[in-house]
Structure 1
Amino acid sequence: MAINNASELKKKFGVSCYVIVYFNPQTPNLWVQMHNLDDITITTTGQLKAAGVRVRDIIAAEDAGRIFRVGHGLWVSADIYTDPELEDALACRLYGGVIGYLTAAARHDLCDAMPPHAYVIVPAEARRPSPGLPIRYIRTRNPDALTVGVDVSDFHGLPIRITSPARTVVDLYRIEPAGIRQHSAAALSRYIATGGSVDELAAVARVFGDWDRLRPEVEIVGETLKGGYMP
């Protein structure tokens, strides 16, 4: 068996890398030439093994700084390892949740918050995050919290799930509102000032039963913006 181009390998195994697999007459096993292993973007140990890559060659590539382990059995290239979006993609993959709250507000540039950890909305039964990871759970038993107003994008085959700007504003007002009042008010003002849809905001807020509380705030911001104030 020979697999000698990236598209063929990806089609067969779902692996985004380029390796040359050929039969070594000195040994009865498939042998893999590893000089292009650093073309990997994101892959798993299982996918590499399925492509004929030996564990010792994976370890050698890791020791050489050509690939990095970022989770149990998950490997990425050096370029992906330094990509700031990797943290969000891993949080979604490892914990099955949604990037939200102050982290989503920062990603959407809705306020100037700089949370020291990633806020991830997860099902109530989700296992604890691994010690040392900058992750903080927001647990929920409401299935709408994991689907309504959630945008999904692709990061090299890994989904990034993040609350939309409208959903993020709603969450800032409904989750621990007293503790982050300055950020929620700033996010609402910036959302409306930059053309965010009030109808979408109202629709999301109604799902969570928060529109009656949020509507007066929206009206105040609207009047303030009419006076020429820009957040």
Structure 2
Amino acid sequence: MICLVSALAYHELTDHIPRRVWVAIGPKDWRPHISYPPIRFVRFSPEALRHHVDTHSAEGAEIRITNPARTVVDLFKYRTKVGPNIAIEGLREVLRTRKATPAEIHNIAAEMKQWKVIQPYLEALTING
């Protein structure tokens, strides 16, 4: 499943071009060794691999990618790996482009126990409506 910065780029929510493809795998899944393209693997729980994921077609293949709201929540969850600036940029852009609502972000953040982290940023960006 494509996630984090790669999903952010896929949804056109950043100008940042990821140096690696961010891929989520299960906690006990075999980690493949691939030399190209560079891949950064992140381990997600089985539930996290199923919820708030969209399937897209690319060159005849089905690709699973986190939806925009889930992508932002994941960026805050993994902010030490991706950087807090990218998480804030993603939140700002998802709200600006209306690819997710504050309510969607809140619901996913609460479900993933990340609401306390995201709340001040979401409130600051939506204070005037």
- Is 1:207 matched with 2:111? yes
| Cα pair distance change 1:139/1:163, threshold 3 Å | same
Aligned pairs for 1:1-231 within 5 A: 98-133=1-36, 134-140=38-44, 142-155=45-58, 157-177=60-80, 179-195=82-98, 196-223=100-127, 226=128
Q: Secondary structure of the equivalent of 2:17?
A: coil
| Post-superposition CA distance 1:161-199 (Å, at most 9, x none) | 000000000011001347511111111111111222111
Structure 2: tracts of 5 or more residues without a match: none
CA contact under 8 A between 1:166 and 1:204: conserved in structure 2?
yes
Q: Which has the higher contact order (CA 8 A, sep 6+)?
A: 2
What root-mean-square deviation, in Å, do the aligned CA atoms of Structure 1 and Structure 2 show?
Answer: 1.9
What is the TM-score of this pair, normalised by structure 1?
0.51
Distance 1:203 1:221 in 2: 17
| Cα pair distance change 1:178/1:129, threshold 3 Å | closer
Distance 1:101 1:115 in 2: 10
Considering only CA atoms, is the larger Rg found in Structure 1 or Structure 2?
1
* Aligned residues with identical type, % of pairs: 31
| 1:131 CA displacement | 3.5
Count of residue correspondences: 127
| Post-superposition CA distance 1:69-111 (Å, at most 9, x none) | xxxxxxxxxxxxxxxxxxxxxxxxxxxxx10001011111212
Deviating 4+ runs (over 6 angstroms): none
1:31 matched residue in structure 2: none
Distance 2:79 2:39 in 1: 17
What is the TM-score of this pair, normalised by structure 2?
0.87
Distance 1:131 1:178 in 2: 20
CA contact under 8 A between 2:27 and 2:46: conserved in structure 1?
no
